[in-house]
Structure 1
């Protein structure tokens, strides 16, 4: 739904919408600019997966609006979030739109920026450490590694039409596949990748709540991915990493391991 400036009463000053990446969870991974904006903000519109420790860094007098989203359950639809940002900015308020990870990697930051600019609202994007980069670093998992992977692909695991997408070639020899939002469809994802030609023995890591105090690194082979997620009761936020780079994870950091052939990880 297009949003125009004429849809809202406009004051003399138009505020700026700051699309701010909160990173994967650890507040020490915030950029300096993100931390400064949080400390100054009068209005923070935040996702549900933003860690409480990061929300605690906001100004004591800031108005906090949660627009939490969960699978099949949104507290506020995306078009209403867009309208909220535009309305508050056109009313003269600067808005910090706080998103987990990076705003432009599966964060719908592009949609929100588009809506704001169409309504004449200035937008600033403050990048954050993406979940893939931050969680992989904590696990000691290099997304690229000479001789193992020279390419990385990010995909969303709960997109409509999952079975219609062609993932052939995205994982396997010299490639790493990082799957966001794949917990609920983990078994289907494994089945799909195997059908698309990936060996069932391909190493897989599940990075649950990465960089947070209760994070876990779980390792399996592709064929056992669904069982790993189910039996370990993996909860979001979690990433699935598929590829030979999983073998680089330090054994002491692994909280659960399935499949005997992965005992050689070192």
Structure 2
């Protein structure tokens, strides 16, 4: 009976050990987020009471240093592997390979981001798997070389994905504005997220509340933070969820509607980055959305 009790407890201990290791690996990401929030708060305090242009410049410089420090901490403290985080290993084939003595040995063939594990043996099954892997590797290499040499091939797809994501963000913003609880407007979320006042001149307001947040937030939340969380073993999906939760927490100043909009928008932008394989598309969609709500609020 004691043996059965130990056998039932052993999986629980393994899960607990994995969770504790993952928790400690995620501490650098939490530290970088806290550093970012402190720097953004100091940036707002330094920019308050200044002139329109002076306040915008001071806020951008101070907040930019905060984003740079947070990204630096992620790169230094986390096992940051962009390729491994961006492209997860894919199981290509699982079969039986015939070894030299003629006995069947089960072998799995896994193609990762860095290397390929090929089943050993001289049998027909092993040769077929090797040939299929070689052909797929050549096709992937030719495709990647073609995309690097001819980036214009990706432009139509990126434009379509960016336009679709922008429309979804604007529609989501409108739906969130209809939710009960508080007088929420789409422009209020953008201004509160950057600490800007709507009385600023439009050029300074656009730079401070549209351009700067779009670039810095995407570089931190959708790129550095997501890749850092995924690289410690949490997985890409968990990384997107964590980034969305932290992004929603940073937008709680506008109320529940603002936090809900920020969280769902983060998931949309993360999906856009995954589908387009570029951070430029989420930046463009975020920039267009911020600019649209600011222009609509100032017409």
TM range (shorter): under 0.3
Q: Which has the higher helix share?
A: 2
Q: Calculate the TM-score normalised by the size of structure 1.
A: 0.21
Greater Rg over alpha carbons, structure? 2
Q: Calculate the TM-score normalised by the size of structure 2.
A: 0.19
Q: Which has the higher strand share?
A: 1
